[in-house]
Amino acid sequence: MAKITRKPVPRKAAVPQKKAKAAIAKPARKPAPAKKSLKATKPWTPAEIHEVFSRFRKANPEPKGELEHVNPFTLLVAVVLSAQATDAGVNKATRALFEIADTPQKMLDLGEERLREYIKTIGLYRTKAKNVIALSAKVLSDFGGEVPRTRAEIESLPGAGRKTANVVLNMAFGEHTMAVDTHVFRVGNRTGLAPGKTPLEVELGLEKVIPAEFMLHAHHWLILHGRYTCLARKPRCEVCLINDLCRWPEKTV
């Protein structure tokens, strides 16, 4: 039998590793366009801002803060207690408290331990009780028992920050201040009225654009709007007074 011989099949030359990668590499994707920030939206015009606050004024001519108080001192105490707490929760605790301690001297006479019993349903009540007693002493020693009327002086009191000072100056003394809480911060950013990364940025932005004729009540209108309409999770755009002007790209109307 004749011997069958087969020619060896030539092997394909190995592709250099770098070239192989280049051959199978996919085209680079274009980067996704960045989401537009509120600062990139169409700016509000002075006429639109005037219209917004005219609507708020028409719907609620004399808005009131929801923290219950009987004088500037009890307002100061209530605002200090409201940090990281709801107004309703603070009111529940202070109704009985303010019946017996509505002045700095009476609060000192009550003492920290007894004060804690009145406010123990409020978050951080131990620290807050300590601050209230300390600020009562400072109001007596440094300000003659009267709540001071400048932002710097109020901020010098234990437990009182810029927001506290702005609330007291506005509600007790009629100053045109803008207190930025979580609701005002959200509304200022979401609507595009005054975008900002910090409460101070939003505060200064709102003060810059809101006409003076509305400033006395502006922070109350914005707080109430954020609390009952422009909610954090499910904003009620369908009943919003300013839904046609709002710059929020995700509004549902």
By annotation, the residues acting in catalysis are 163, 181
Half-sphere exposure of 221 (CA within 13 A, CB side): 23
Q: 206 and 193 in contact (C-beta within 8 Å)? A: yes
Q: 177 and 149 in contact (C-beta within 8 Å)? A: no
| Among candidate residues 69, 251, 247, the one with its CA nearest the CA of residue 147 | 69
List of residues 6+ apart from 48 with CB closer than 8 A: 245
> Helix, strand, coil shares of the chain as percentages rounded to 5?
55, 0, 45
**Eight-class DSSP state of 40:** G
**Rounded alpha-carbon distances, angstroms, from residue 111 to 27, 70, 105, 123, 130:** 73, 20, 10, 19, 9
Per the structure block, which two tokens stand in for 184? 């005002």
